[in-house]
């Protein structure tokens, strides 16, 4: 089958809103905590923080809504909500099939997320075997090599270096759901498949994505020179 886009040889997946259905859980937690102070956590505010590191996202929310608490206290309150919901989070449609397919064909794969280690461990707890198929996870919140979170390109460039053989950035395909992540992929010089979640406006990701899909289930590996399903 002919390629539609340049050949890629490696893949990096975003986590929240792309592999895991966590974005609705982030929303519920933020709505609950902000409402305790009579504040409304809006779609516009959510779009600003999706993909950011926990530290940055926390500061942005507290500043934007002028919450009468320190960012650290906001973070702890939100974490208390996440402890209730993250351990049973579901995978998004198409995620498991795609990851297992690429792994079967020995395509090097990593994940790169705005998450902290704490949050990543909690939300991947019931999907440990699937997440063990990635060669490495770059977690912006706690990784000493990541100087700036998405939309800066650092997390994807660090993940690329850890593949080990100094790969060409143009051969590394990013999967993202949010504007900050698409921006980061573009800044890294990497092609990007965007699957916009419920809280991402298509118009915010179209220009800098290689392709925009309604679901991971619609991704055709052969379009990027990867082995097709069934092969």
- Asked whether position 16 contacts ligand PSU by CB under 6 A, the answer is yes
How many residues contact Mg ion, by CB under 5 A? Answer: 5
- Closest CB to Mg ion among 67 and 92? 92
- For ligand PSU, the closer CB: 213 or 227: 213
**How far is residue 222's CA from residue 209's CA, in Å, rounded to a whole number?**
18
Three-state DSSP state, 31 = helix
Q: Residue 103 CB, nearest distance to ligand PSU (Å)? A: 20
- Opening angle at CA 151, ends 47 and 20, nearest 5: 60
CA distances from 105 to 41, 209, 226 (A): 43, 25, 9
Task: Tell me which residues in 70-99 interact with ligand PSU (CB under 6 A).
Answer: none
83 vs 216: CA distance, rounded Å: 27
d(C-alpha 157, C-alpha 188), whole Å = 6
Smallest distance, Mg ion to C-beta of residue 165, A: 27
Q: Which is nearer to ligand PSU, 6 or 93 (CB)?
A: 93
Q: Does 46 bind ligand PSU (CB under 6 A)?
A: yes
177 is catalytic: no
For residue 173, the cross-strand partners are 11
Q: Is 17 in the site for Mg ion (CB under 5 A)?
A: yes
Are the beta carbons of 37 and 198 closer than 8 angstroms? Answer: no
Residue 205 near residue 182 (C-beta atoms within 8 A): yes
Residues numbered 116 to 175 that lie near ligand PSU (CB under 6 A) are 119, 150
| Stretch touching Mg ion by CB under 5 A, among 14-22, 40-48, 140-148, 185-193 | 14-22
Q: Which does 153 bind (CB under 5 to 8 A by kind): Mg ion, ligand PSU, none?
A: none
Cα 39 to Cα 59, 65, 117, 130, 149: the distances in Å are 15, 7, 29, 38, 26
Asked if 17 is part of the footprint of ligand PSU (rule: CB under 6 A), the reply reads yes
Is 49 a binding residue for ligand PSU by CB under 6 A? The answer is: yes
* 10 beta partners: 172
Here the tokens at position 62 are 């507290």
Catalytic (active site) residue 168: no
Residue where the block lists tokens 């975003």: 14
Specify the stretch interacting with ligand PSU by CB under 6 A; choose among 14-22, 88-96, 128-136, 166-174: 14-22
The residues carrying an active-site annotation are: 14, 16
Residues that bind ligand PSU (CB under 6 A): 14-17, 23, 26-27, 30, 46, 49-54, 57, 113-115, 119, 150, 178, 181
Residues that bind Mg ion (CB under 5 A): 14, 16-17, 177-178
């Amino acid at each position: 089958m002919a390629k539609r886009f340049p050949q890629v040889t490696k893949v990096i997946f975003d986590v929240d809103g792309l592999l895991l259905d966590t974005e609705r859980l982030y929303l519920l937690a933020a709505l609950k905590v902000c409402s305790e102070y009579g504040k409304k956590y809006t779609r516009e505010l959510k779009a600003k923080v999706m993909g950011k590191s926990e530290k940055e996202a926390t500061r942005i929310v507290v500043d934007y809504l002028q919450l009468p608490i320190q960012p650290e206290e906001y973070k702890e309150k939100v974490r208390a909500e996440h402890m209730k919901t993250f351990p049973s989070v579901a995978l998004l449609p198409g995620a498991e099939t795609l990851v297992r397919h690429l792994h079967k064909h020995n395509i090097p794969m990593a994940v790169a997320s705005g998450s902290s280690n704490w949050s990543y461990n909690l939300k991947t707890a019931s999907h440990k075997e699937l997440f063990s198929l990635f060669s490495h996870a770059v977690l912006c919140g706690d990784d000493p090599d990541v100087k700036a979170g998405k939309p800066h390109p650092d997390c994807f460039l660090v993940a690329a270096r850890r593949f080990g053989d100094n790969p060409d950035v143009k051969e590394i395909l990013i999967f993202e759901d949010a504007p900050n992540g698409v921006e980061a992929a573009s800044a890294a010089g990497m092609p990007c498949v965007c699957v916009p979640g419920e809280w991402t406006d298509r118009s915010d990701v179209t220009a800098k994505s290689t392709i925009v899909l309604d679901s991971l289930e619609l991704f055709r590996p052969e379009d990027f020179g990867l082995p097709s399903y069934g092969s």
